[in-house]
Structure formats: structure tokens, C-alpha cells
Structure 1
Amino acid sequence: MKKQWILLSALLVLIAGFLAACGSSEEAGGDNDKKTLVMGTSADYPPFEYIDTAQGEEIIGIDADIAKAVTEKLGYNLEIKDMDFGGLIQALNSEQVDFVASAMSATDERKENVDFTEIYYTSKHMIISKEGSGIETAEDLEGKTVGVQLGSIQETKANDLAEGIDMKVESRNRIPEIIQEIKAGRFEAAIIEDTVAQGFLEKEKDLAGVTIEDADGGYAIALPKGSELTEEFNKALQEMIDNGEIEDIITKWFSEQ
């Protein structure tokens, strides 16, 4: 009888330990049970998305913070992938990423291929050129070679301007490439989103900029056509707009530039 009691006690201890281990495992792996959403972005566009190599390899900025907040509110894990801006919509439609947050304007042309959330930021265009170039208006681009980011709203703007102004438009994948082309004299100017341009102007004292008209549309998150996530994202974004979270994020990153 004593032996049976000892065996029973040992068995109960083993069962209790097994249950405790299961509980600890579930608690520790809670986040692992969440679905992970993959965000596509072009991390060359501070303060919206970029990598501060002095701090590490993490993609940071306005869009990264907004995406983290939205996915956290909806109960998802987040993975961010860096790629060229011109390939983001293709990556979205080929299911390489679940959504795109990359200072992307919600234009009518893009809406033919993807769905957009609520607009969270409206931008302006800026012409960047070397200090003393004399370029102060769009008309001053006459006869000039103008750089733009491939696939951007500024590329569309430049091509529209080129219909009435004799200027050559050349595209590059990344904004730093465009800046280097200006400094090397291969571009006389570039058209870049104004807040992004301001960041480069503060670092490159030999460059100057002038703001032109508002950009078409506004920045929004892009999702596949008919995605069930669009409604979820809209709800979370609207909540963040209403309670001031979006404004706080934008203010934070602009103040750090």
C-alpha cells in the first residue's frame, strides 16, 4: 500500500510538472501564435522609412511606426521588407508582401491595381538643385536634366511638366542616388517630396530647394484589391487619426530630422 501511494504521488508530481511546462510554453510563445504580416517599403526616404546605420539595421521612421501600431492593435506580428519603390505594387500583387507602407500617394492610377486605406499625410513637391543654380520655379527646368525616383508620384509630376517644358526626366531607384547625380553634375535638378528633401538639404549645404504645388493624392497604406485587411486597417488608422496618435508619430519624426 505504501509503495502504491509513493508511485501515485510520483505520478501526480510528473503530471503537475507537465501541465506547468505546457502553460509556460504557451505563455512564452504567445506572440508566436499570431499571424505575421509582411510590409513592403523602400527604406531610403527619411523620415518616413530609412535605416540609420549608426543605430543598427532596423527600418525606422513614420511608416514603420504607423505599421507597428496598426498591426499591434489588430493582433498581428509585423515583418518589414526593404525593396525598390518601383517594385512595391508588383510585390504586393504577387503576394511577396501583405501590404505596402512607403510614403505612397493614393493616386487614381494606382487605385486601378491596389486598394488604399485612409490618407494619413498629404505632401508637397520640391525642386532640388545646386546652390546658386537659379532654379526657382518649374519653368526654370527648361533645358535641364531632372532626376526623380522610379515609380514615385514625383516621376509622374515630372513627366507631366515635360509635356509643356523642354526638360529631360531620368529615374533612379533610390533618393540618395538622385542626390549624388546632382552633386556630380549629371542632373541639374530633382523633384522630391518636400519633407524628404528638407532632410537632405540640412545635410547637403551646397544644395537648395524650392517648393512647388501640392502633390496629387496623399499618403496611404496599399493593400491587394479586395483584401479583407483593408477594412481592419481603416478602422485602426481612423482611430489613430481621431485620437492624435498619427499626429504624434509624424511630429516625433519631423522633429528628429
Structure 2
Amino acid sequence: MKRFAMITMLLVAVFGLLAACSDSSSKTGEKAEEKETLVIGIDDKFAPMGFRDENNEIVGFDIDLAKAAAEKMAVEIEFQPIDWKTKEAELNSGRIDLIWNGYTVTDERKEKVLFTKPYLANAQVVVTLADSELSKLDDLAGKVVGLQSLSSASDALAGNPISEDIKTVTEFSDNVTALSDLKSGRLDAVVIDEIVINYYMTTQKDTFKILEEELAPEEYAVGIKKGNEELQNKVQTALDEMNTDGTAEEISIKWLGEDKVLK
């Protein structure tokens, strides 16, 4: 009888463990479109789209836009700063559910992720110091140029003939560091998002100037994991509603000074 009781207890323990593992597995494998909290991957040094303010709070255009969309979708959101070089890997691994922080639509990225419709127009431009003699793209010949690693700035520069005449292209983890090296004289110019440098030119007056010609126009959209059309449609519906009710326009005026949202 004692042996029988011990075997019974062992079986109960084993089945209990299996049930716990099964429950844990189901939670881990929860689909993004069914989650009550969506994790959004951001570059927290990408003002004015998403960055940390003087209180170390994450703020910005995309932060406000994502929060407003979450209310319409009736979900909670969590902002997760990531290494921008690994953004697609973070998305495809399931560690984040959305890439939403000045994420430029490119043909190469379309092969890796789903996109919403573009919600904001942008361009890649070249910035230098206000007192620099550089004024046009051809002036970059023989110069040292910086940009954010694995960003659309890299693609824009590579697609322009001037890239063959540049002395050195230095890559940085973020735009803040690149601009810091520009101010210190270690760089002659930086390739950067027009929206980003326009923001810095309002906060650091008479420090920078933009060269006459832009490198390439582009558009921002939200990135979703391939195969998750349901979540893509939910986010797009929320964006459409914010365009209709004026929420997106209000956020644009707050952060960009004008309505730049694509309708």
C-alpha cells in the first residue's frame, strides 16, 4: 500500500509539472495580435520621434502616436529601447511586436517585415557646422562623413555618386554621437534624417546647416512581423482613425510645428 501511494504521488507530481510547462509554453507562444500588451522597439536617441527628455522619460512624435493608437486598439504598450542595427532580428524573434520610431520604408526592408501605409514624409540630408565652407554634395569629396549604422542614411549615401569620392564613412550607433563628433571636428559632415536635424536646429541654434541638395526622399511607417496581417490591419485602422479625427495632426503640430502627416 505504501508503494502504491508513493507511485500515485509521483504520477500526480509529473502530470502537474507537465501541465505547468504546457501553460508556460502557451503564454510564451502567445500571438502578437492577441496580446494585451504590445512591445514597441525604439531608438531612444532619435529626437523628435522617440527620445529621452530631461527627466529620462521616453517622449516624442512616434511615442505619442503609438500611445494614441493603443487607446483605439484597446491594448497596453511598452516601449523597449533596442540596438537599431538588430531591429528586424528583434521583431522576428518575438522580443518586440512593432518597430515604430522613424522606421523608413525600403524595398530591402519590405522583404523582411510588413509595413503599414506611410504616415510621415522625410528625406535624408547632409548636415555640417554652420560656419563650414561646405555647401553642396560635391563638396564632400575627400571629406570624413558620419551616419547611423544600418540606417536608411547609409542606403541614401551609397546610392549617390558622391559616395565614391568621400574619404571615409564612419558609422555610429546613433545620431547623437555622430552629431557630437561633428561638433568636435572629428567629422566634416553627417548624413541624417531631415526631421531629426530640423529638430536639433531649433534646440541648438546657429550650430548646424543643411547642404543645398537632399540625398533621397523617404517615408516612415510601422513595421510588423511577416505573416501577422491581423496586427497590421489593427494598427492601420488606428492610424486611419487618427487621421480622420485630427489626433495625428495635433501630434504633428506639437512635435514638428506643422501638420506633416500623410493622409
Name the TM tier (shorter chain).
0.7 to 0.9
- Please say if 1:47 is aligned against 2:41: no
Does the aligned pair in 1 maintain the 2:157–2:215 contact within 8 Å?
A: no
The CA deviation at 1:73 is 0.7
CA contact (8 A) 1:144 1:188 kept: yes
Q: Which amino acid aligns with 2:193?
A: E
Q: Structure 1, residues 134-193: CA drift from partner, whole Å, max 9, x if none?
A: 222211111111111112111111122256541122210111100111122221000111
Q: Which letter does structure 2 place at the counterpart of 1:48?
A: M
Displacement of 1:84 in angstroms is 2.4
Instruction: Show the 5 A alignment for 1:74-223.
Output: 74-161=73-160, 165-167=164-166, 168-202=168-202, 203=204, 205-210=206-211, 212-213=213-214, 215-223=216-224
Q: State the secondary structure of the residue aligned to 2:120.
A: coil
Q: Is residue 140–residue 162 contact of structure 2 (8 Å, CA) maintained in 1?
A: no
Counterpart-to-counterpart distance in 2, 1:70 and 1:144 = 43
Structure-2 separation of matches of 1:196 and 1:211: 17
Inter-partner Cα distance in structure 1 for 2:198 and 2:103? 18
Whole-angstrom CA distance in 2 between matches of 1:152 and 1:85: 8
* Alignment coverage as a number of residue pairs: 221
1:39 Cα deviation (Å)?
A: 0.3
1:226 Cα deviation (Å)? 1.3
**TM-score normalised to structure 1 length:** 0.80
Matched, 1:233 2:235: yes
Larger Rg: 1
Q: TM-score, normalised on structure 2?
A: 0.78
Unaligned runs of 5+ in 1: 1-33
Moved over 6 A (4+): none
Q: 1:213 to 1:45 in 2, by over 3 A?
A: same
Equivalents in 1 of 2:161, 2:246: separation in Å?
39
Structure 1 contact 116–223 (Cα < 8 Å) conserved: yes
Greater Cα offset, 246-255 or 224-233: 246-255
What RMSD, in angstroms, separates the aligned Cα atoms of the two structures? 1.9
Q: Percent identity?
A: 31
SS of 1:212's equivalent in the other structure is coil
